[in-house]
Amino acid sequence: MGHQQRALRAVQRALVGLDLTNTAARVEQCRFHYCRLGVSASRTTGAVDPILRANLFMENLLGFRSEGGARPDLGTTQSPGGNVFYINTTDAEIINPAAPVAAIGNYWSEAGPDGEVVRLEDQGLVRARRISGDNSPAGISLAPIGEIAGGQILNSDVVWLGTVDLTASNTIETEAVRDGQVIRERALHVGIDSRLRILPGTIVQVQPRRNIVLLVSGRLDAIGTPARPIVFRSAATNRQPTDWRGVRFIDGADLSEPSVMRYCEVSDAYTGVSVINRSPLLEFVKIRNFADQGVLASSVGQYARKGGAAAAAGNPFGIARPRIADCQIVGGEYGLVCLDAAPVVTRSLLTSSIISSVYITGNNVPDLGNLEDSDPDNDGANVIGGSIRYDIENLSTSAVRAQNNFWGLIASDDLVDARIFDDNERYYSGKVIFLPRQGAVPPNFLVAGDLDGNGRLDSADLAALSAAWRSVVGDPQYRPQLDVDRDYQIDKNDLLFISNRLTQ
């Protein structure tokens, strides 16, 4: 009997997601979620040899079970399975197989105390490789990919694991409007009804100098761990801060639960993370080696994708209100740019920008620390400072609360105030309320440019910079501590930063 192709795409909250009793079927690119049993393969008569490829078994009591002499094919050396078994109570049971069961090239949940991730009632399972960078696929797609105007769209649930390459061949040309100029980009677009899940340890490598952007209108769950962060970076050997356009949340209403980036590292992008009329959660995200903005939060229609729903004539999606907690945004021209947006920022590092750590315009403004309300999640405790022009630049007419923060090595309130642009510098700007403030910087605060680690910038650091002058990554004299703008070279920007702070 030939294999039958199964047409289903997703099964959730079922006793048995798919019963393959006495059935020879090929099950491919399907999702089994919150089931008591995801897929059952058994036989009472004849041969039963279903084939399973590129399926997601997630948060089931039991992902897959084979019994009664069935001979499922979960992956061979010639044709790896590519099935993802993730956070199931038990990933798979193989009971009394008629012959050894092949399960090569699948990706399993954490190993149990015995080192195995599969429970066996009898022998016969070929040991499958666990999740690792060496064995990871280019990406597990659980839905067909189609095209829409403005980008390539992922229509349903997609899981990325391992090393994922974004290139000119798997993205589509699109256009964005920035400062009145049309910019041609190449986009992979997560559609408004879709979810992209990126598993811990995944590396997303972007082909450089192609203006590639990851557009998210639907939901992004990029949740790493401290030991296995998710990395977004350029694929170039000599990575530059303009190699790609970053991660951009845009043109979509937030779902019942917001998008999440947790334990991620974003580097080598013109703008690290852009949030346009959206409210994602960013936790423990490191954004470095970017050219312009670490995080752009905007409720301004002109920053939406050309022809998108959030047009200049109106804003149907509301104000951008991302929550940024325990993040590190270091370098670039601006750390955080708020264009009529209201992010809440806590316990984050915003430092070493060429122009300003925080730049604000529009009626809606960020919450950088508010001790006047009862919300425990907006109490500041950020480290702000070390930028060349201003630490906070408020061009809005609204007041900005930035209480309970650390201000680098600055010792007095007057010196902190001198690092802030507000109503003292321009009468119609709103006041930045920074008192009360924290005292000394946290013990783990790294002073950009401080090569000898003595907590200040002095003549020794300037002499070290002179010795490393014009060196680049790979040169023996290059010192990353002196590369304050994280552009992989010691140049005039680093000199300007250090020399302007020798007296502080």
Give tens-digit pLDDT for 408-460. Answer: 766 689 989 999 999 999 988 999 999 999 876 655 455 566 666 565 677 88
CA distances (Å), origin 488, targets 159, 243, 282, 475: 32, 13, 26, 10
Give the model's pLDDT for residue 28.
81
* Per-residue model confidence as pLDDT tens digits over 202-213: 889 999 988 899
* Per-residue model confidence as pLDDT tens digits over 72-111: 888 877 887 777 777 777 778 777 666 667 777 777 655 4
For residue 2, pLDDT over 60 is answered with no
Q: What percent of the chain has pLDDT over 70?
A: 73
**Residue type at 290?**
F
For residue 376, pLDDT over 50 is answered with yes
Percentage helix, strand, coil, to 5, in the chain? Answer: 5, 35, 60
The overall average pLDDT reported for the chain is 77
Among 400, 358, 395, 393, CA closest to 378? 400
Phi, psi of 250 (to 5 degrees): -155, 155
Largest CA distance in the chain: 86
For residue 493, pLDDT over 90 is answered with no
For residue 397, pLDDT over 60 is answered with yes
Alpha carbons 219 and 253: distance in angstroms, whole number? 10
- Region of 209 on the Ramachandran plot (φ > 0 left; ψ -120 to 50 alpha; else beta): left
Neighbour-count burial of 281, counting CB atoms closer than 10 A to its CB (0-12 exposed, 13-18 middle, 19+ buried): middle
Mean pLDDT in residue range 254-266: 84
Structure tokens at 376: 């425990």
Alpha carbons 123 and 108: distance in angstroms, whole number? 19
* Per-residue model confidence as pLDDT tens digits over 137-190: 333 333 333 332 333 555 456 777 777 888 877 777 776 655 556 667 888 888
For residue 387, pLDDT over 60 is answered with yes
Q: Which uninterrupted H or E stretch holds 233?
A: strand 230-234
For residue 303, pLDDT over 70 is answered with no
Lowest mean pLDDT, pick from 21-25, 101-105, 160-164, 298-302: 298-302
For residue 1, pLDDT over 50 is answered with no
Give the model's pLDDT for residue 153.
53
Mean pLDDT in residue range 386-394: 89
Return all residues near 125 (Cβ < 8 A) that are at least 6 apart. Answer: 92, 94, 97, 100, 101, 103, 118
Q: What percent of the chain has pLDDT over 90?
A: 26
Length of the chain: 504
Report if pTM > 0.85: no
Alpha carbons 57 and 38: distance in angstroms, whole number? 7
Structure tokens at 27: 């099950």
* Per-residue model confidence as pLDDT tens digits over 40-55: 888 877 766 889 887 8
Residue 330: pLDDT band (50, 70, 90) is confident
Among 254, 280, 252, CA closest to 266? 280
For residue 229, pLDDT over 60 is answered with yes
Give the model's pLDDT for residue 432.
97
Asked if 373 and 351 count as a contact pair (C-beta separation under 8 A), the reply is no
Taking the CB of residue 444, how many other CB atoms lie within 10 A of it? 7
Structure tokens at 348: 């984050």
**Residue type at 261?**
M
